[in-house]
Amino acid sequence: MTPPPDYERLGFKEILVRLEGAVAVAVLNRANKFNTFSTLLVEELVQVFDLFDKDDRVRVVILTAEPTAPVFCAGADITAGWDAMRGVDIASKGHQAHRDRGGRVTMAIYNCRKITIAAVNGHAAGVGMTGLQLPFDFRFVWEGAKLSFPFVRRGIAAEAVSSYLLPRLLSHSRATSLLLSGATVSPTSPLISSLYHQILPTREAVFPAAKAFADELAQNTSQVGVAYTKALLQHPGESLEENHLLDSRAFSVLVHEGDAKEGAMSFKERRPPQFRDTLSSTKTPWTPWWRPLDVSPKL
Amino acid sequence: MTPPPDYERLGFKEILVRLEGAVAVAVLNRANKFNTFSTLLVEELVQVFDLFDKDDRVRVVILTAEPTAPVFCAGADITAGWDAMRGVDIASKGHQAHRDRGGRVTMAIYNCRKITIAAVNGHAAGVGMTGLQLPFDFRFVWEGAKLSFPFVRRGIAAEAVSSYLLPRLLSHSRATSLLLSGATVSPTSPLISSLYHQILPTREAVFPAAKAFADELAQNTSQVGVAYTKALLQHPGESLEENHLLDSRAFSVLVHEGDAKEGAMSFKERRPPQFRDTLSSTKTPWTPWWRPLDVSPKL
Amino acid sequence: MTPPPDYERLGFKEILVRLEGAVAVAVLNRANKFNTFSTLLVEELVQVFDLFDKDDRVRVVILTAEPTAPVFCAGADITAGWDAMRGVDIASKGHQAHRDRGGRVTMAIYNCRKITIAAVNGHAAGVGMTGLQLPFDFRFVWEGAKLSFPFVRRGIAAEAVSSYLLPRLLSHSRATSLLLSGATVSPTSPLISSLYHQILPTREAVFPAAKAFADELAQNTSQVGVAYTKALLQHPGESLEENHLLDSRAFSVLVHEGDAKEGAMSFKERRPPQFRDTLSSTKTPWTPWWRPLDVSPKL
């Protein structure tokens, strides 16, 4: 078994990562570049969420920016055109070979089996609205943030899997309004407010609120119960009946593990639970029940 | 043809059932046990919703609790651990053989082809939030109710098909917030308010409001129109075009029945309709167009 | 290449159509019949939305009524029964051959690849709520409009593909409440408010607000970026990963077109964009990636 990673010594440059108890915190570290997406930032985010997923010590993850940064994330830097966002050589490989960078970050965050929280303490545009917010389980936001989805105003389409996630998160009426108008809205707008778990009055209040929420969840939730619930939400049955089969098995598997026993016992004894099961210690394999799709380019 | 059931003489113990005109009322009868789920309660709920489904006299169903009960439903009683919720012998049958009891109740309510209403006149937790609320068509609730989804705080995962129903009812943003935080919320919280058709100021006001609503619907809606609309909502086409085929056939089938004629005539004559078609009298078979899934355990 | 249509000379009778710059406006012209659905109105709406879809000059479409009309649309005229809504001879062709007229209008609007806006400046009932509102990208409405879904109160089921669209637009909780109760509600009701992009205080204010919104979008959005985003929203991947493949290709295709270059350049130069790409000029074919379903009757 490999030792758990020491996040502060892994050499990340464009994010700062620390572990506080069972809560991992990643901070965007490109304030002087408006926290825009760079090739390195994408690689570091993909890597660190993969590490969080596998690290049994981590129960909750928070992504945030410095509250003194000019923005949470200004999206892609397109002042020199789109070249920085291009990956493969289309002329020889074809459009099918391209893999959107925003989407790669989205997938890494969405597939992390821990509780994930975006603490949006500044303005956000483009992939700062999509890849850095939509795949999270919870979003905390500053009331004064300007939030924009400018894709159709830049000649491109909704990216970073936002056409899949936003309608599911908000329903199609709101998602269509936001993506087809290229709107800039405030978190309290009825078009977007239901995206957010909590809206805070100041930039400085966002991270502390998210951190207190994370700490409480880290102490009182089961890592395996969370991961199984996330898997059911992300991969439900195709019918009520099929979902009943899936969550029936979930109950049967989990109730034989230690966390369910501790959950019932602590509830009876009216004390906080001491959950000890981890994803790597859980004895019964239970995922995936869906068909995984390999999206690596066939070059 | 068998005579219609006399609900008050069927010997139900943990629910009280009565028929008032075309409105069936089922009342949870375990107030001294906080209306917790028992094996018998599960069996009686499954049985009675199956009877309501087939009884042509029934147009609307209400499930409620005594407003003087300490809670609407406290969920499963786990003070003695999870044994009461276990069904099959896992050691010999395997996890695949388990069938969640909350899910069995959810399916019986969801598959009842009549209008169904939950009148939530007290606090609700666990399966009291899931199986006893989510499969209904309408939910009325007391403003002061404490509503909680404690699964991840007890070491288990979201049950009773809630991972399927809650995101569809509320969108994924709110469903994920509720299920992954194990939150306790009030009905007026923006996290959950859209689950409810109406929020009432007192516990005593919930059932009368639901009953008046049910009486109006029982008098003025078509049993077959309701059942076909429910079937379309629960089993839509996989595309706009496929759904167009399904609801085109719905129109063609229904417009040849008596209720459509009476609907047009009463509208023209500006009088209340007298709908007489029933599910068993309707001549053209039209369901299922989906593939039914048999979830009975293969023991 | 055929010359673009002169909408004012195409001989439409039950709609008035004009092109104002890149914004096409269609006005219901049956005020003396409460803008009810007629066979001719259906045919004209299907035809004109098909023309808008193919006309490169059109970037945004608005459908509205005269603000002096008694209603926006009273639905189908059933005072003489349902005969006017019947199409084929069921006795010889069977129920499977019927094609709902509301659904035909819904499909024509939904499949128009331009931005579509319903300016609902009066009361709306039946197909005036479904076919004439749900397939649009944006809905503007008069605060005083009475909005009703009376299907189950007329002995029929939800039509015009509303059982598919309404739950996606509003989530199932609200859609079920509206369709199974046959409710009449106001736009500010929590049951329906999220259907609307904007709610205006007077009937007269609705069209000007929609027109100003349309003009701004026509000037500042890319026709191909809009069409690709609509296609992704209407036909998402079946999983996050599949959608990533679809929007990755979207980025790769679009970034090689002129609009993306102009989008980045105008952003850098802080000036409005001058988008020139059109659906017929775009070089790379990219739709459909879904399986089209032919719904024409097999007679």
Do residue B96 and residue A249 have CB atoms under 8 angstroms apart?
yes
pLDDT in tens, chain B (299 residues): 578 899 999 999 999 999 999 999 999 999 999 999 999 999 999 999 999 999 999 999 999 999 999 999 999 988 888 876 776 666 677 888 899 999 999 999 999 999 999 999 999 999 999 999 999 999 999 999 999 999 999 999 999 999 999 999 999 999 999 999 999 999 999 999 999 999 999 999 999 999 999 999 999 999 999 999 999 999 999 999 999 999 999 999 999 999 999 999 999 999 999 999 999 998 888 899 999 999 998 76
Rounded-to-integer distance, Cα C60 and Cα B201, Å:
46
Q: Which chains would you list as touching A if contact means 3+ CB atom pairs under 8 Å?
A: B, C
Question: How many alpha carbons lie under 13 Å from residue C166 in its C-beta half-sphere?
Answer: 29
Rounded-to-integer distance, Cα A10 and Cα A31, Å:
20
Rounded-to-integer distance, Cα C273 and Cα B121, Å:
57
Provide the terminal-to-terminal Cα distance of chain B, rounded to the nearest Å: 33
A259 to each of A112, A222, A234, A265, how far by Cα in Å?
20, 6, 22, 10
What pLDDT sits at residue A282?
86
B132 to each of B19, B45, B135, how far by Cα in Å?
20, 10, 7
A295 close to B129: Cβ distance less than 8 angstroms: no
pLDDT at residue A203 greater than cutoff 90: yes
Write the CB contacts of A6 (distance below 8 Å, at least 6 apart in sequence): none
For chain A, helix (H) and strand (E) counts, in that order, are 9, 9
Which has the closest alpha carbon to A226: C156, B181, C244, C62? B181
Which position has the token pair 């809504």? Answer: C85
What pLDDT sits at residue C83?
77
B214 close to B221: Cβ distance less than 8 angstroms: no
Section A284-288 average pLDDT: 87
Which has the closest alpha carbon to C242: A50, A295, A297, A86? A295
What pLDDT sits at residue A111?
98
Rounded-to-integer distance, Cα C156 and Cα B224, Å:
8
Do residue A222 and residue B177 have CB atoms under 8 angstroms apart?
no
- Mean pLDDT value across chain A: 95
Those of residues 14-53 in A touching chain C at CB distance below 8 A are none
Which has the closest alpha carbon to A228: A205, A257, A202, A207? A257
Q: Bridge-partner residues for A76, per DSSP? A: A37
Backbone angles phi, psi at A108, to 5 degrees: -65, -40
The CA angle C201-C202-C206, to the nearest 5 degrees, is: 95
Q: Bridge-partner residues for A63, per DSSP? A: A26, A118
Section A81-109 average pLDDT: 84
What pLDDT sits at residue B14?
98
B255 CB within 8 Å of a chain C CB: yes
Rounded-to-integer distance, Cα A207 and Cα A75, Å:
20
b/e code A50-87 from CB counts within 10 Å (16+ = b):
ebbbebeebbbbbbbbbbebebbbbbbebeeebeebeb
Write the CB contacts of A256 (distance below 8 Å, at least 6 apart in sequence): A284, B90
Rounded to the nearest angstrom, the gap between the alpha carbon of residue A106 and the centroid of all alpha carbons in its chain is: 7
Do residue B225 and residue C190 have CB atoms under 8 angstroms apart?
no
Identify which of A95, A162, A167 has the shortest CB distance to residue C252.
A95
Chain A nearest-CA distance from B94, in A, is 9
Query: What Rg, from alpha-carbon coordinates, does chain B have?
Result: 20
Which has the closest alpha carbon to A60: A112, A100, A24? A24
One-letter identity of residue B128: G
What is the per-residue pLDDT across A142-190, written as a single tens digit (0 to 9) for each? 999 999 999 999 999 999 999 999 999 999 999 999 999 999 999 999 9
One-letter identity of residue B188: T
Rounded-to-integer distance, Cα A23 and Cα A116, Å:
10
Q: Which residues of B touch C103 (CB under 8 A)?
A: 244, 247-248
Those of residues 104-123 in A touching chain B at CB distance below 8 A are 115
Write the CB contacts of C58 (distance below 8 Å, at least 6 apart in sequence): C19, C22, C23, C24, C52, C114
Residues A166, A168, A174, A180, Cα dihedral to 10°: 50
Beta strand segments in A166-213, E: 184-185, 198-200
Q: Is C44 left (phi over 0), alpha (psi -120 to 50) or beta?
A: alpha
pLDDT in tens, chain C (299 residues): 578 899 999 999 999 999 999 999 999 999 999 999 999 999 999 999 999 999 999 999 999 999 999 999 999 988 888 876 776 666 677 888 899 999 999 999 999 999 999 999 999 999 999 999 999 999 999 999 999 999 999 999 999 999 999 999 999 999 999 999 999 999 999 999 999 999 999 999 999 999 999 999 999 999 999 999 999 999 999 999 999 999 999 999 999 999 999 999 999 999 999 999 999 998 888 899 999 999 998 76
**Closest residue of chain C to B221, computed from CA coordinates:** C153
Here the tokens at position C105 are 């209008």
**Closest residue of chain B to A233, computed from CA coordinates:** B163
What pLDDT sits at residue B15?
98
B187 to each of A126, A139, B196, B201, C107, how far by Cα in Å?
34, 21, 8, 11, 37
Chain B nearest-CA distance from C55, in A, is 23
Q: Which residues of B touch A242 (CB under 8 A)?
A: 293
One-letter identity of residue A67: P
pLDDT at residue A296 greater than cutoff 80: yes
Rounded-to-integer distance, Cα A185 and Cα A162, Å:
17
Chain A nearest-CA distance from B268, in A, is 34
Do residue A225 and residue B152 have CB atoms under 8 angstroms apart?
yes
Rounded-to-integer distance, Cα A269 and Cα A276, Å:
18
Give which of C255, C267, C274, C290 to mutate to test A binding, by max A Cβ within 10 Å. Answer: C255
Rounded to the nearest angstrom, the gap between the alpha carbon of residue C61 and the centroid of all alpha carbons in its chain is: 8
Question: How many CB atoms neighbour CB B94 within 10 A?
Answer: 12
Chain B nearest-CA distance from A66, in A, is 25
pLDDT at residue A87 greater than cutoff 70: no
What pLDDT sits at residue A297?
82
Here the tokens at position C243 are 């959608």
Which has the closest alpha carbon to C158: C218, C198, C79, C102? C102
Pairing relation of β-strands A184-185 and A147-148? antiparallel
Here the tokens at position C213 are 């919104």
What pLDDT sits at residue A1?
58
What pLDDT sits at residue C87?
64
Which has the closest alpha carbon to C195: C269, C129, C139, C255? C139
Rounded-to-integer distance, Cα B212 and Cα B219, Å:
11
Q: Bridge-partner residues for B117, per DSSP? A: B62, B138
What is the per-residue pLDDT across A219-273, written as a single tens digit (0 to 9) for each? 999 999 999 999 999 999 999 999 999 999 999 999 999 999 999 999 999 999 9
Do residue B100 and residue A255 have CB atoms under 8 angstroms apart?
no
Which has the closest alpha carbon to A137: A189, A179, A195, A84? A195
Q: Which residues of C touch B264 (CB under 8 A)?
A: 78-79, 81-82, 154-155
Chain C nearest-CA distance from A263, in A, is 31
A241 CB within 8 Å of a chain B CB: yes
Do residue B156 and residue A254 have CB atoms under 8 angstroms apart?
yes
B174 CB within 8 Å of a chain A CB: yes
A77 CB within 8 Å of a chain C CB: no
Rounded-to-integer distance, Cα B272 and Cα B266, Å:
6
Identify which of C79, C86, C103 has the shortest CB distance to residue B255.
C86
One-letter identity of residue B203: R
Do residue B254 and residue C155 have CB atoms under 8 angstroms apart?
yes
